[in-house]
Structure 1
Amino acid sequence: MTQTDQTGALPQPAIQQPAVPPTDARGPDQVGRATLMICTAAFIFAAQDGISRHLGATYSPIFITMVRYWFFTLFVMAIVMRQPGGLRAATRSKRPWTQVARGIILALEIVVTIEAFVRLGLINTHAIFACYPLIISVLSGPILGEKVGWRRWVAVGVGFCGILIVLKPGSGVFSSQALLPFLGAVMFAVYGLMTRLVARDDTAIVSFFWTSVVGAITMTIIGINSWEPIARRDIPWLLVLCLCAAIAHFLLIKAYELAEASALQPFSYTQLVWVSIFGVVIFGETLAPNVALGGLIVVGAGLFTWWRSRQRAKQIQG
């Protein structure tokens, strides 16, 4: 779930040139491969969430996130060293303090979300977390200075109604624990907006590097005293968890080299399908009718805001 941001999956500001050539400049075969890659990455990220839920029931989410970041940073370093300019070029950010802030926010968001997986389950967490594109629409005005039209405000309102359907406040089902995935969504939305902000001056590889290093430092400072022995039976799961993050992010990078991020964004929602399947089949969770309906409303509202963003970008560019 923490996947989308680090590779620019969110629509970029209109004033920024695309990181890759426009989709129509690519052949249909390339776009097809990119779509397959993004769907595969969504499946792997869903599996990663399932493993995080499994390990989170035994180990501290802070500990799990710390180990993930250690491995992830090694993976990013390997990619950075193969880029022109290597490590020196990747460290040169024109917005270093913003990069630091977004790295810290993402690391803490992962901790919050893993805790939500354990307390609420995969399905309920993702149904609420899916509202983050709507939060981005609300905050894009004060943070990025973008104009939010009435249509997107209506979509935000509809999405909020979907969250209320999921939570069923006043029915006795709602609990304070349900605020965890919403907090995670807010943090991820802020991280996404800050990613768009730094993208005006820094390349994707610079942001990728800062995300991993700042996150690893943050989690080491917070979690090193939380180190706990790892049971032998859990070592393979922890290794698979780290490998999932590396493989999924590699697929994202390759996908965005073949097609525009805005063209691929809708396919990232396939992660919700896999999460629901894993939740029901593996963890015995229940896909309640109100959760299914509310989740569909939230996703639909999010897809509408994505579509409006693309339409507005086309009008500005045209």
Structure 2
Amino acid sequence: MARFGRIATIMFQPKTTNPGLAVLLMGAATAFIAGTTLFAKALGGDTLGPALHPLQVSHGRFVFAFLAISSAVAIMRPQFTRPNWALHFARTFFGWGGVTLMFASVAFIPLADATAIVFLNPVFAMILAIPLLREKVGPIRWSAAAIAFAGAMILLRPTPETFQIASLLALAAALIMGFELIFIKKLSGREAPVQVLLINNFLGVIIASLAVIGVWQVPTAAQWGVLIALGVCMALAQACFVNAMARADASFIAPFSYGTLLFATLYDIAFFGQIPDWITLTGGGIILSGGILLAWREAKARQRAQNSRA
């Protein structure tokens, strides 16, 4: 038990810089995040039993992630500060809405397509930051946004023969997660990461439990197992992500988060036999290009801000 406590403390409260380990942890985080969409796709189909509603899938995600994180917190016994409940609730509400729509979309379209479209959330956050955070957006960031949106339009396959309406669910998920990022920015630096994760998942359980009442159905034994795996997978993804971001500069480690698209593609091939076509590869590649350009621009802006304060 004491050994588990040390591991949990290292994972949730990292204190040393280690770029190499940060890359490995971010790689693990992306594999786990893509794994949650894999499990959601399985639960949204009928291979494990009658398909579960996306609201029930996201409910399982929050319940079992909260159980995993609260178990680690019970062993760590970290010091908590007074939380900003309004910011936490807003962040969690939009996060719950985004992940529910994401889970709904992957039941109908390839994991790679849905994942790539949802990667528009930093672009939406950039646009939303103009009225909500009073941020100024220059030509480079607007160019990055235009590039990413062009990729999304390709993935939407906007022709009568190929259009997939479920892609709009992924696009809506990206927009809602963009709102979530705004509140994450507002929370940044105010509270310890472990406190943010615990409160986020606690509030998520409450919201998801209320939302699932009208669509709840008894899962099969296999579905219970996958729901547990989904929640634990998300808890591990969050722990790895927090640890990775704390062990290296954000400008260095953030681009590695796009590995989620690689794992989603591999899971598509391995578990569903869905080979990415040229539309998926082209649209996804263009979105990644826009996202990397945006990440680079944000890193340069942070560096200039730090230099001006020095």
Equivalent in the alignment of 2:39: 51
1:223 aligned to 2:217? no
Range with bigger deviation, 72-81 or 183-192: 72-81
Q: What percent of counterpart residues are identical?
A: 23
- In the TM superposition, what is the alpha-carbon distance from 1:72 to its structure 2 partner? 1.4
| Aligned CA distance change for structure 1 residues 252 and 158 (closer, same or farther; 3 Å) | closer
**1:84 match:** 78
Partner of 2:139: 150
Offset, 1:208: 1.8
Deviations 1:185-212 (A, max 9, x none): 0111110111101225333333223211
**Does residue 53 of structure 2 align to residue 64 of structure 1?**
no
Which among 256, 261, 265 is matched to residue 272 of structure 1? 261
For residues 109-258 of structure 1, the aligned pairs below 5 Å read 109-199=98-188, 201-258=190-247
Query: What's the C-alpha RMSD, in Å, of the aligned pairs?
Result: 2.1
Deviations 1:197-232 (A, max 9, x none): 122533333322321111110011111343322212
Q: Which residue of 2 aligns with 1:32?
A: 20
Look up the SS of the partner of 1:114 in the other structure: helix
Alpha-carbon distance, 1:246 to partner = 2.3
In 1, the alpha carbon distance for the partners of 2:144 and 2:92 equals 29
Shift of 1:37: 1.0
Aligned to 2:108, what secondary structure does the other structure show? helix
Give the corresponding residue for 1:7.
none
8 Å CA contact 1:131, 1:159 repeated in 2: yes
User: Residue type of the partner of 1:263?
Assistant: F
**Contact 1:123 / 1:285 at 8 angstroms: preserved in 2?**
no
Q: CA deviation at 1:250?
A: 2.3
Alpha-carbon distance in structure 1 between the residues aligned to 2:66 and 2:31: 22
Partner AA of 1:129 in structure 2: V
Deviation at 1:249, TM superposition (A): 2.1
SS in 2 for 1:229: coil
| Structure 2 unmatched ranges of 5 or more | 1-12, 46-50
Per the alignment, residue 16 of structure 1 pairs with none
Structure 1 residues 287-296 or 197-206, which shifts more? Answer: 197-206
Distance 2:126 2:231 in 1: 32
* 1:288 CA drift (Å): 1.7
State the TM-score, normalized to the length of structure 2.
0.86
Number of equivalenced pairs:
289
Residue 10 of structure 2 aligns with which residue?
none
Q: 2:284 aligned to 274, 291, 295, which one?
A: 295
- The question of 1:73 aligning with 2:69 is answered no
The question of whether the paired residues in 1 share the 8 Å contact of 2:37 and 2:111 is answered with yes
Q: Which amino acid aligns with 1:208?
A: L
User: TM-score by structure 1 length?
Assistant: 0.84
What does residue 3 of structure 2 align with? none
Could you say if the C-alpha distance between residues 148 and 78 of structure 1 is closer, same or farther in structure 2, counting changes exceeding 3 Å?
same
1:83 Cα offset (Å): 4.4
Question: Cα–Cα, structure 1 residues 307 and 171, in superposed 2: closer, same or farther, change >3 Å?
Answer: same
Asked if structure 1 preserves the Cα contact closer than 8 Å seen for 2:122 and 2:181, the reply is no
* 8 A Cα contact 2:147 2:289, kept in partner: no
Larger mean Cα displacement after TM superposition, 304-313 or 151-160: 151-160
Q: Is the 8 A contact 1:131 1:299 kept in 2?
A: no
Report SS of the residue matched to 1:119: coil
Match of 1:4 in 2: none
CA contact (8 A) 1:159 1:302 kept: yes
> Matches of 1:264 and 1:181 in 2, distance apart?
25
